[in-house]
Amino acid sequence: MSNLMGSSCTEEDEKSSVDTFLTKADIKKVDMFIEAEEMATEVHPHCGGCKCGKCPIRGHDFSFREQQELELIRNNLFYDSQQKGWVTAYPWIKDPSTLPDNYNAVFATMRSTEQNLCKRGEQWVKVYQEQIEDMICRDVARKLTADEIEKWAGPKFYISHLAVENQKSLSTPVSIVFNSSQKFQGQSLNDALAKGPDCYLTNLMGILLRWREKPAVMIGDVRKMFNSIKITKEEQHCHRFLWQDMDANRDPEMYVITRVNMEIDRPLPQSVDSEAEAKLLADDATQVLKEGGFNIKGWVFKGNGESMETTHVLGVEWSQSQDEIRFTPRLNFSTKKRGKPSGPDIRPQDIPVTLEPPLTNRIVLCQIMRLYDPLGILSPFIIVGKIYLRETWDLGFGWDDHPYLLA
């Protein structure tokens, strides 16, 4: 560096000049910034020589186990040229015929879900019923006939569905979630299936970086992406669920899920050199995806939309017209109910009043972790809170101690 800058100062001289302007406390903070493993500044795992089992083997992107599971997933996926869509069998790592009969447990969960819906009011009941009906109309689920139930000799397993509150939507206050992780006699459906490579976060970073790489930015959402992939009949019977349409006086009817059980819209963000190239790419992608049974909800390009309008791209808030990534700071110190804050976020003008209860390490960490920043843009700001939190912890204060009251 000294040769490039035309200077003859040594490394010791540079360090000395830096130290002149820093106090010992400042130097400590810099060291903590550089060395802080838990502050997401260090990459894990370091190499392929550890024993965690997650390191990729040399020359590969995945561990040996992930590579085998990925191959299993790929081999079970095939294209139906007549129906113009993809069909998959699930990547079983256990014989599905050994799964226990969990009918009674799932029936009890269904009754509990219905009781919860009734307690929350008529709107919850109506929205939940509409979502079940929508699944049937879209052929994501179908009702089994009595004859099919009687004649089926293959493996079968039931999955529970739960009512999960959706606080971000007034029109859809509740969503259906199918719980494939529910255990019965120590086994769940997820336990019997291969997971594949655990590389979502790495892919997420790469996707977002490519999206911000070039000047012409575009986004397209694939409607109900995973619901567009059909599953074979054996997998359907291992995804049975019960529903009695909120009528406790009749026996529940038996349904099966016919598609991959993830109802999400998957964004396709990309950036290219020009607006014309972006529109051409959008047309080509729409046609290719249509051949596979995937439908695009619509494309959004940089520069369109209202000046204050924003959308979310993989959790990142994006201004379409200004092409800006934005962050909305949120503070909420209310107690949690069902894992979510029971009260609204604090307005800036309310902060002096709301902060009267002393802060604790637990509260501060919770607020820091609420900031979602996969690209690390806010790191210079977030790191300050993490450094202060670590210093407080080093002083011996527990999670729920009030530091300035104990000082």
State the Cα–Cα distance between residues 99 and 119, nearest whole angstrom: 34
Q: Which residues of 21-50 are buried (b: 16+ CB within 10 A; e: fewer)?
A: eeeeeeeebeebbeebeebeeeeeeeeeee
- What confidence category does residue 185 fall into, taking pLDDT thresholds of 50, 70 and 90? very high
What is the model's pLDDT at position 221? 85
Report, as an integer, the average pLDDT of 355-384.
81
What is the model's pLDDT at position 27? 56
Residue 350 main-chain phi, psi, to 5 deg: -95, -5
Instruction: Kindly list the distances between the CA atom of residue 388 and the CA atoms of 15, 41, 120, 238, 403, in Å, as whole numbers in the listed order.
Output: 25, 16, 42, 50, 12
Q: Report whether the peptide linkage leading into residue 45 is cis, meaning its omega lies within 30 degrees of zero.
A: yes
What is the model's pLDDT at position 52? 59
- What confidence category does residue 163 fall into, taking pLDDT thresholds of 50, 70 and 90? very high
pLDDT, one tens digit per residue, over 113-140 is 999 999 999 999 999 999 999 999 999 9
Instruction: Give the pair of three-digit tokens for residue 290.
Output: 């249509």
State the Cα–Cα distance between residues 222 and 86, nearest whole angstrom: 15
Q: Flag whether pLDDT at 275 surpasses 50.
A: yes
What is the model's pLDDT at position 87? 93
Q: Flag whether pLDDT at 320 surpasses 90.
A: no
Q: Which of 61-75, 159-173, 207-221, 343-357 has the lowest mean pLDDT?
A: 343-357
271: helix, coil or strand? Answer: strand
Residue 257 main-chain phi, psi, to 5 deg: -85, 135
Q: Flag whether pLDDT at 257 surpasses 80.
A: yes
Q: What percent of the chain has pLDDT over 70?
A: 77
- What confidence category does residue 273 fall into, taking pLDDT thresholds of 50, 70 and 90? very high
Under DSSP, the state recorded for 396 is: T
State the Cα–Cα distance between residues 90 and 259, nearest whole angstrom: 11
What is the model's pLDDT at position 13? 43
- What confidence category does residue 305 fall into, taking pLDDT thresholds of 50, 70 and 90? low
pLDDT, one tens digit per residue, over 10-29 is 444 434 333 444 566 655 55
Q: What is the DSSP string of 295-315?
A: -EEEEEETT-S-TT-EEEETT
Dihedral over alpha carbons 283, 287, 289, 295 (to 10 degrees): 80
- What confidence category does residue 102 fall into, taking pLDDT thresholds of 50, 70 and 90? very high
pTM, to two decimals: 0.70
pLDDT, one tens digit per residue, over 44-63 is 444 545 555 566 655 566 67
Q: Which residues of 280-290 are buried (b: 16+ CB within 10 A; e: fewer)?
A: ebbeebeeebe
How do beta strands 340-341 and 174-179 pair? unpaired
What is the model's pLDDT at position 35? 46
- What confidence category does residue 383 fall into, taking pLDDT thresholds of 50, 70 and 90? confident
Q: Flag whether pLDDT at 262 surpasses 80.
A: no
Instruction: Kindly list the distances between the CA atom of residue 154 and the CA atoms of 75, 218, 340, in Å, as whole numbers in the listed order.
Output: 21, 46, 41
241: helix, coil or strand? Answer: strand
Dmax over Cα atoms in the chain, in whole Å? 89
Instruction: Give the pair of three-digit tokens for residue 303.
Output: 């520069």
Distance of CA 330 to the CA centre of its chain: 19
